[in-house]
Amino acid sequence: MANIKDVAKRANVSVATVSRVINNKGYVNEETRILVENAIKDLKYIPNEFARSLYKKVSKSIGVIFPHLSNSFYYNVLEGIESFAFEIGYKVIICNSHEDEIREEEYLNQFIKYNIDGIIIGSNSNIISRYKELNIPMVSIDRIIDEEIPSVTSDNVAGGYLAGKKLIEQGCKHIVHFRGPSILLTVKDRSSGFNRCLEEHGLSCNQVDLAFINPEKELIADYLQSHEETDGIFCDSDIIGAIVLSELHRLGRRVPEQVQVIGYDNLLLSELVIPKLTTISQRMVEMGEEAMLSLHSLIQNEELTNIHKLIPIELIERESTKK
């Protein structure tokens, strides 16, 4: 691998001049520039970023900490982050915390070693203080971990509200909310939006708490069996929605004629079940892009006009609700 000295030698100039050419900085005579550029081409010279970063203390890379990777939310967000990062010349180092604080801390140390320019956190981090003392530009995604730390979240309150509104508009009276784990802020927000909407219309609903990954099918089956009057169901995920549909099918209840169902996430799945699932869609890729955008501003020391970005949701109407 050729280095800057080799180029300088071949072009008969000093390394400083070569550096000026590479960085387009300072005075360089046009002829000299061409000489240097040719030498660079001849030697297939590519500047060493380590040396550069060592001096400039900038790594042109950001770290992304997620609690999981195999989850459509995170990899779609990651897609958005990567996409925008590439545009502005940033590398993305991916970290899977596995919801493990020790692992997260180890990654944090790595970040320092590598002069990482910024961090995007999607994990349920309890080590915020550690993050804050690091003083590295940082953006949280999907949750607000601290008032001072910029965030990008999906408008979960609006998501819940919209789902409620749709069910009510289509005439549902006996509504149930199959919720995700209620420790999650996102779930709480959806609940609060949903409940507010019902209250505004003089209604209330039952809540059944479920896990996201492996929702207990039995709980769903039991509830549906013992609540024949149910005519509207809001599920905190399409996976729960799909299970609900299959249970309703087993019980012989017609969707959407007798019961209407709304899911959440707009997974591929929601198009493949019968009937196709009406769902709330989060703009995940956009969330990733917005997070990277905020982070970039932060890195550039720009003022953020909007510290806490709220990304709108959409209701995707399919066949599990009435028109």
Partner DNA sequence: ATTTCCATTGTAAACAGTTTCATATTTACC
Partner DNA sequence: GGTAAATATGAAACTGTTTACAATGGAAAT
Answer yes or no whether residue 297 interacts with DNA by CB under 7 A.
no
153 binds, among DNA, its own copies, none (CB under 5 to 8 A by kind): none
Answer yes or no whether residue 5 interacts with DNA by CB under 7 A.
yes
Hey, is 50 helix, strand or coil? helix
Which CA distances in Å does 2 have to 7, 8, 47, 210, 300? 7, 10, 9, 59, 32
Residues 6+ positions from 140 with CB-CB distance below 8 Å: 120, 121, 122, 146, 149, 150, 151, 152
59 binds, among its own copies, DNA, none (CB under 5 to 8 A by kind): its own copies
Provide the minimum distance between the beta carbon of 283 and DNA in the complex, in angstroms, as a whole number. 38
Exposure string of 109-145, with b = 16+ CB inside 10 Å and e = fewer, is eebeeeebbbbbbbbbbeeeeebeeeebbbbbbbbeb
Candidates 39-47, 70-78, 189-197, 286-294; binding stretch for DNA (CB under 7 A): 39-47
Q: Which of 3, 22, 75, 203 binds its own copies (CB under 8 A)?
A: 75
Hey, is 91 helix, strand or coil? strand
234 binds, among its own copies, DNA, none (CB under 5 to 8 A by kind): none
Pick the closer one to its own copies by CB: 114 or 200.
Answer: 114
- Strands ordered across the beta sheet of 232-235: 205-209, 175-179, 232-235, 260-264, 278-282, 313-316
Binding pattern for the stretch 46-65 against DNA, x by CB under 7 A and - elsewhere:
xxx-xxx-xxxx--------
Answer yes or no whether residue 12 interacts with DNA by CB under 7 A.
yes
Provide the minimum distance between the beta carbon of 29 and its own copies in the complex, in angstroms, as a whole number. 27
93 within 8 A of 116, measured Cβ to Cβ: yes
Question: Which amino acid belongs to residue 280?
Answer: I
Answer yes or no whether residue 46 interacts with its own copies by CB under 8 A.
yes
Distance CA 186, CA 237 (A): 12
Using CB under 8 A as the criterion, which residues of the chain lie in contact with its own copies when the complex forms?
Answer: 1, 46-51, 53-54, 59, 61, 68-70, 72, 75-76, 78-79, 82-83, 86, 91-96, 103, 106, 109-110, 112-115, 239, 242-243, 246, 249, 268-269, 272-274, 285
Using CB under 7 A as the criterion, which residues of the chain lie in contact with DNA when the complex forms?
Answer: 1, 3-5, 12-20, 22-23, 25-32, 45-48, 50-52, 54-57
